[in-house]
Amino acid sequence: MASRRFSHITTVFLLTIYRAISLVSVDLPDTLPLGLLDLDIVDKIQLDPNTTTQFSIDYGQLSQAAPAAVYCPSSPDDIAALVRFAYTSPRYFTIAARGRGHSVRGQAFAPGGVVVDMASLGRGRADRINVSSDDAPPRWYVDAGGEQLWIDVLHETLKHGLTPRSWTDYLHLTVGGTLSNAGISGQAFRHGPQISNVYELDVITGKGDMITCSREENSDLFYGVLGGLGQFGIITRARISLEPAPQRVRWLHLVYTNFDMFTRDQEMLISKLEKGFDYVEGRLLKGKDVSSSSFISEEDSEKVKLLADEFGAIYLLEGAVYYEQATASMVYQEVESLLKQLSFVPGFAFTKDVSYIGFLDRVHEEDTKQSSTEHEDVLHPWFNLFLPKSRIRDFESAVFKGILKNNNPVGLVLIYPFNKNKWDDKISAAIPDEEEVFYTIGLLPSATRENWEYLDKQHHEILSFCHQEGIEFKQYLPRYVTETDWRKHFGRKWHVFVQLKRQYDPKALLSPGQRIFTTPL
């Protein structure tokens, strides 16, 4: 007994010496508490500048802020251990989950703190996506790790003939990252955004507690986390609803020269929740942006270019109808009769038939880069708004025909509507309150070091215009720095937002890059 005790003391002693030595060699940045080195998880913490530098930039490339350390957890328990330590540590340091860093404004940064590389949760593991197709429908679902990419979720569910209903345009985004925002694309008018299609979440709160939540259980946390900008916890698992996957997609591009007809048709299409399009989006095309698209033949491309030259700008309504091979001819007829009700320029409807996955995975990162320049040199000062339907016309005149008039290229500009009743009122995501239909406007230009600030200035002008005209807009993937602006952004939801923060992350440890709460509450 005595000798065992002795050896224990010796071990502790040796460990202390060892840590003292390794301390000197690892040189813990002074923003982090020394106690971090005593944790079992210490070998998952990376301090070398090569690694921290990689995590100090994001897709936007507009700003830079290095964390003191990068954490590579192998399990949700590892994350809980780190957060619990931070919560009890007298020394304040922040923690940001990072999906793929596809934010554009440093939202996944943790300056001087710890970035959690969520990808390491899934690395080399096959058990992070579980499809459940045994229960009777409609309770088919997939349990996916918060770090998982939507493209991988799609591949797994398709093996069971199933698919999530609501998407983003680009699928190499993480489940936890998009659920912290909203997750929008052309299916949202029918099914709501991705945050409307979740049954359950596992969340590690800012106190380090692991909580399972749903509409029934811990519902305040559930609704808070959805669209909650990472402020209340780190999502480690999401249970997402599934439906049978269609085999084929009839994909349409319809060209308009008249903005009113374009939006009227979009609104008509999103009101048809039964037989109609399964996907509705739209964009502005002008000048250099009307380059030949792979969607249409070169000959048709020329036609479209001439039209754009004549009218200055054109609008492209993008639609899709899902179908089964066996019913193809019937669906073609239905699409034809739908087209008869629409007011696109005669002769300017282009269609294509593709596989379901070919349609969903249509956007690749390549498309968002400028082909001639290196990826490193492409900046993305992206700017997204939600606007009430009644003001979309004012916006068009002042912004597309005004502020952005001389931008050539203007870059990708998305314009499409949603039905508000598909957005649960209790979720954190902020949307315009007043009308049943609201639009998303996405200004998604590529920029250089030289011109990005000019584009950024234009975005500020757009915000000023909206303020002046009393347009009840909301930013999507918002970026604000003052509490007044955040308060205005969340509007009547602000009070609940603060209350949830006080309850689940009172020390304001999580996702500091959003710059909503900058000190413990």
Ligand X SMILES: Cc1cc2nc3c(=O)[nH]c(=O)nc-3n(C[C@H](O)[C@H](O)[C@H](O)COP(=O)(O)OP(=O)(O)OC[C@H]3O[C@@H](n4cnc5c(N)ncnc54)[C@H](O)[C@@H]3O)c2cc1C
Contacting range for ligand X; rule: CB under 6 A; set: 96-104, 122-130, 153-161, 499-507: 96-104
Q: Name which of residues 411 to 470 contact ligand X (CB under 6 A).
A: none
Contacting range for ligand X; rule: CB under 6 A; set: 31-39, 102-110, 132-140, 260-268: 102-110
What span, in angstroms and rounded, lies between the C-alpha atoms of 465 and 381? 19
- Does 62 participate in binding ligand X (rule CB under 6 A)? no
3-state SS assignment for residue 168: coil
Distance of closest approach, residue 311 Cβ to ligand NAG, in angstroms: 50
* Structure tokens that stand for 86 in this block: 């931070």
Name the strands in the sheet holding 45-46, side by side, starting at the edge strand that comes first in the sequence. Answer: 45-46, 69-71, 114-117, 95-98
User: Please, where are the H alpha helices in 354-423?
Assistant: 356-360, 392-395
What span, in angstroms and rounded, lies between the C-alpha atoms of 289 and 273? 32
Distance of closest approach, residue 349 Cβ to ligand X, in angstroms: 24
- Does 181 participate in binding ligand X (rule CB under 6 A)? yes
Decide if 172 is catalytic.
no
- Does 118 participate in binding ligand X (rule CB under 6 A)? yes
- Does 168 participate in binding ligand X (rule CB under 6 A)? yes
Closer residue to ligand NAG in complex, CB, 142/317? 142
Question: Of the listed 78, 102, 152, 380, which one is catalytic?
Answer: 102
- Does 100 participate in binding ligand X (rule CB under 6 A)? yes
- Nearest to residue 350, comparing CAs of 215, 252, 244, 484? 252
- Does 280 participate in binding ligand X (rule CB under 6 A)? no
| Residue 145 touches which of ligand X, ligand NAG, none (Cβ within 5-8 Å per kind) | ligand NAG
Closer residue to ligand NAG in complex, CB, 143/265? 143
Instruction: Say what angle helices 483-490 and 494-504 make with each other, to 10 degrees.
Output: 110
| Residue 103 touches which of ligand X, ligand NAG, none (Cβ within 5-8 Å per kind) | ligand X
Using CB atoms within 10 Å of the CB of residue 99, give its burial: 0 to 12 exposed, 13 to 18 middle, 19+ buried: buried
- Does 173 participate in binding ligand X (rule CB under 6 A)? yes
Beta-carbon neighbour count of residue 321 at 10 Å? 21
- Does 176 participate in binding ligand X (rule CB under 6 A)? yes
Size of the site for ligand X (CB under 6 A): 37
Closer residue to ligand X in complex, CB, 118/335? 118
| Residue 101 touches which of ligand X, ligand NAG, none (Cβ within 5-8 Å per kind) | ligand X
What span, in angstroms and rounded, lies between the C-alpha atoms of 362 and 356? 10
- Does 263 participate in binding ligand X (rule CB under 6 A)? no
Burial 363-396 (b: 16+ CB within 10 A, else e): eeeeebeeeeeeeeebbbbbbbbbbbbebbeebb
- Does 196 participate in binding ligand X (rule CB under 6 A)? no
Using CB atoms within 10 Å of the CB of residue 354, give its burial: 0 to 12 exposed, 13 to 18 middle, 19+ buried: middle
Burial 102-126 (b: 16+ CB within 10 A, else e): bbbbbbbbbbbbbbbbbbbbbeeee
Decide if 278 is catalytic.
no
What span, in angstroms and rounded, lies between the C-alpha atoms of 104 and 235? 20
Contact between 155 and 231 (Cβ < 8 Å): no
What span, in angstroms and rounded, lies between the C-alpha atoms of 293 and 282? 15
Question: Of the listed 281, 289, 361, 396, which one is catalytic?
Answer: 281
Distance of closest approach, residue 144 Cβ to ligand NAG, in angstroms: 6
H or E, element range at 163: strand 162-164
H or E, element range at 216: none
Q: Enumerate binding residues for ligand NAG (CB under 6 A).
A: 48, 50, 127-128, 130, 143, 145, 237
Closer residue to ligand X in complex, CB, 173/398? 173
What span, in angstroms and rounded, lies between the C-alpha atoms of 193 and 206? 26
- Nearest to residue 257, comparing CAs of 314, 341, 307, 218? 314
Contacting range for ligand X; rule: CB under 6 A; set: 21-29, 100-108, 295-303, 465-473: 100-108
Contacting range for ligand X; rule: CB under 6 A; set: 230-238, 311-319, 328-336, 427-435: 230-238
Contact between 82 and 116 (Cβ < 8 Å): yes
Closer residue to ligand NAG in complex, CB, 128/507? 128
What span, in angstroms and rounded, lies between the C-alpha atoms of 34 and 17? 14
Q: Binding ligand X by CB under 6 A: which of 85, 93, 141, 170?
A: 170
- Does 102 participate in binding ligand X (rule CB under 6 A)? yes
3-state SS assignment for residue 86: helix
- x/- mask, ligand X, residues 476-505, rule CB under 6 A, reads -x----------------------------
* Structure tokens that stand for 472 in this block: 């009840």
Distance of closest approach, residue 325 Cβ to ligand X, in angstroms: 28
Decide if 102 is catalytic.
yes
Q: Binding ligand X by CB under 6 A: which of 67, 73, 76, 99?
A: 99
| Residue 130 touches which of ligand NAG, ligand X, none (Cβ within 5-8 Å per kind) | ligand NAG
| Residue 452 touches which of ligand X, ligand NAG, none (Cβ within 5-8 Å per kind) | none
- Nearest to residue 428, comparing CAs of 369, 480, 492? 492
- Nearest to residue 483, comparing CAs of 452, 514, 456? 514
* Structure tokens that stand for 369 in this block: 């880069």
- What is the maximum alpha-carbon separation in the chain? 94
Question: Of the listed 78, 143, 156, 169, which one is catalytic?
Answer: 169
Closer residue to ligand NAG in complex, CB, 8/125? 125
| Residue 127 touches which of ligand X, ligand NAG, none (Cβ within 5-8 Å per kind) | ligand NAG
Distance of closest approach, residue 329 Cβ to ligand X, in angstroms: 32
Can you give the binding site for ligand X, defined by CB under 6 A? 59, 96-103, 107-108, 118, 146, 168-170, 173-174, 176-178, 180-185, 229-230, 234-235, 365, 368, 477, 511, 513-514
Please give the positions annotated as active site. Answer: 102, 169, 281
